Amino acid sequence: MRNIYRIITLIPEYRFRAVVILFTSAVIGLGGAIAPFIFRHIVNILADFSAMRIGPTQAARDAAIAVLGFLALRLALVGVSAWLEQASDALWRNTISTLRQRVFDSMTSLSIDFYGRTRAGDIMDRFGTVTTITMWLFQLSEGTLSAILQLLFGTVLLLFKAPLVGLIMALIVPLNLYLSVAEAGKTRSYKREWHRLIGVMAGLLGEMVSQITTVRSMAGETGIMSRFNAVQRHWWAVREVEQGVEQKSGVVINLINAVGSVSTVGWVTYGALQGRYSPGDILLVLTLTQAMIVSLQPIGRLINTTAEVDTAAERLVALLDERPTVTDRPDAAELTYIRSIAFCGVYFRYPDKAHNTLEDISFEITAGEHVALVGASGSGKSTIIRLLLRFYDPQQGRILINGQDIRTYTQASVRAAFGVVLQDVALFNDTIARNIGWCNPKASEADIESAARIAHADDFIRLLPEGYATVAGERGVHLSGGERQRIAIARAVLRDPGLVILDEATSALDSESERKVQDGLSHLMAGRMALIVAHRLGTIRNANRILVMNRGKIVESGDHGSLIAQPHGVYARLHALQSVL
């Protein structure tokens, strides 16, 4: 219950309404428990009438009053139940939406390293448990408390009316609860394991769907299917063992209840033959004990589901307990403009790596300057950009913006001041217009179209079936690599950034597309500071400074002319190689 309790503490605002619903459902349950007393009263009236202890008029009047009382009770229960159903559903909608929102907010605030080590499918699976948990909470609030109260009430009443029957029930009820709790304890580790396996399966499915082109093109379906089947078989085996434990405990509980049920019927019948009970009493005791035994079963099942829901909640709590590794200082200021950027002796190691990815990186970009990063694959160029975007903080050294440590500014304002065009352009399943303006909600249609014109995207957008209203992304129109890049450039233009960050696409575009992309980029970068990760040296000839990287270090620095003049330099070698190609 620890994890479910943690989840409940996340939504304290609904506590009062939940208590009212719990109380009302208890009242309904107790209302239902009054019925056997009315039946008892009616049977006693009929017995008195049969034995001629009362006349027909009085019997008819008393019976009519009792039936009317029963009618009033049922009508009241119908009314209160209708209110309860509506109130419970409203509360369920509120809690589920609030919890979903909290999980979503928490996911959006986590640092990038979390997404590097957690599979998307696994996150989706944990997100889905919000529904399981809230459904369970309402199952609990709707019937359980009243069932427990009925059991208590029934046992106490039986202890007075038929002490031996009461005693039997006083043993059966706690024994049932004890065995159900013990069963839940024994099966907990299995439940935890199969929930984990469901997460793994969801992860595999997510991976397969997002990488479908790679999987298809390499005929990798069999490979991924056999990985999935192996996890599925493991899940099957765990579930089978768990079911075995549950079954054993279920048989023991049912046997105890059967013995209890038969002995109460036997004892009451014996008592009646001895003349100790009136017909009404017999009916009352038998109805009560049978109702109690019947209600024990769902309570047992609920204890079992509680354990299951608690393990699901454990996975959700673990997700919610994740804290961003990169956070804003409480006194962080808003960055409103950029005058200069500087890396000063920066060392950086990825959390899961044993060695430094960047070592002693120092460089500066001042107003209007274009600085390019070149070097072999894996030399750390993109990592520099990731640090600038504050996906990670360096372990040593400082990154300065306008002479101030980057950590003195809020992350959002730093990122908002950048116009980023990365290699992989992600398009959302939305219109082209919204894809361009998605992080500038205030941008008008005219602003979006003007940005698209600067990025040389307007011409191809207008040729799409619905122009700017055409849906792109996962289920939308397919755009080529060059077109996606131009969308990304339009996005960056719209932001009017202080610094343009460009991770140049590795795959070559056709010359027409390349020219348009380059043209768009030139417009974007004109008069602005820019940091460019370059794969093709031809595109950075005019950069003010080129930083050549090798194994996490800057090994050469200068403009194209000065670097090319070093015949044994890394840049000159790279340049010679690309010229040959």
Ligand X SMILES: Nc1ncnc2c1ncn2[C@@H]1O[C@H](COP(=O)(O)OP(=O)(O)OP(=O)(O)O)[C@@H](O)[C@H]1O
The closest of 578, 544, 575 to 559, measured between CA atoms, is 544
Identify the three-state secondary structure at position 532.
Answer: strand
First-to-final CA distance of the chain:
65
CB-based contacts of 93: which residues, under 8 Å, 6+ apart? none
Run of H or E including 373: strand 370-375
Q: Residue 167: enclosing H or E segment and its boundaries?
A: helix 163-210
Shorter beta-carbon distance to ligand X: residue 299 or 533? 533
What's the min distance (Å) between Cβ of 359 and ligand X? Answer: 12
Based on the shown chain and the rule CB under 6 A, indicate whether residue 383 belongs to the binding site for ligand X: yes
| Local structure of residue 141 (DSSP, 8 states) | I
Please pick, from the candidates 378, 404, 466, 474, the single residue that binds ligand X as defined by CB under 6 A. 378
Tokens encoding 179:
């065995």
**With CB under 6 A as the contact rule, which of the stretches 133-141, 241-249, 377-385, 567-575 interacts with ligand X?**
377-385
The helix (H) or strand (E) run that includes residue 387 is: helix 381-388
Instruction: Give yes or no for residue 508 binding ligand X (CB under 6 A).
Output: no
Interface segment toward ligand X; rule CB under 6 A; list 172-180, 248-256, 381-389, 474-482 = 381-389
List 138, 350, 363, 438, residue binding ligand X (CB under 6 A): 350
Of the residues 25, 357, 431, 485, which one makes contact with ligand X according to CB under 6 A: 357
Which string of x and - marks every residue 276-305 that binds ligand X (by CB under 6 A)? ------------------------------
By CB neighbour count within 10 A (0-12 exposed, 13-18 middle, 19+ buried), where does 214 fall?
exposed
Question: Quick check: 122 and 199 in contact, CB under 8 A?
Answer: yes
* Among 196, 381, 456, 528, interactor with ligand X by CB under 6 A: 381
Nearer to ligand X, 116 or 266 (CB): 116
Task: Say how many C-beta atoms besides its own lie within 10 A of residue 327's C-beta.
Answer: 14
Give yes or no for a contact between 224 and 230, defined as CB atoms under 8 angstroms apart. Answer: no
CA 248 to chain centre: 35
Of the pair 528, 535, the CB lying nearest ligand X is at 535
Closest distance of CB 13 from ligand X, Å: 38
DSSP string across 232-298? HHHHHHHHHHHHHHHHHHHHHHHHHHHHHHHHHHHHHHHHHHTT-S-HHHHHHHHHHHHHHHHHHHH
Interacting residue with ligand X among 121, 143, 380, 419 (CB under 6 A) = 380
Smallest distance, ligand X to C-beta of residue 374, A = 9
Residue whose token pair is 């019948």: 269
Residue among 242 and 504 whose Cβ is closer to ligand X: 504
CB-nearer residue toward ligand X: 41 or 390 = 390
- Closer CB to ligand X, residue 130 or residue 388? 388
Q: How far is the CB of 488 from ligand X (least distance, A)?
A: 17
In the complex, least distance from residue 415 CB atom to ligand X, rounded to whole angstroms: 18
| Identified binder of ligand X from the candidate list 331, 352, 424, 512, rule CB under 6 A | 352
Please identify, using beta-carbon distances, which residue of 374 and 448 lies nearer to ligand X: 374
**Between 229 and 550, whose beta carbon lies closer to ligand X?**
550
* Orientation of helix 481-495 relative to helix 445-454, angle to 10°: 120
Measured distance CA(218)–CA(400) in Å, rounded:
45
Binding mask 80-119 for ligand X (x = CB under 6 A): ------------------------------------x---
Please, what is the angle between helix 163-210 and helix 120-139, to 10°?
160
Minimum gap (Å) between residue 225 Cβ and ligand X: 28
How many residues sit in the footprint of ligand X (CB under 6 A)?
13
User: Contact with ligand X (CB under 6 A): which of 155, 289, 295, 379?
Assistant: 379
- Contact between 353 and ligand X per CB under 6 A: yes
Give the footprint of ligand X on this chain (CB under 6 A). 116, 350, 352-353, 357, 375, 377-383
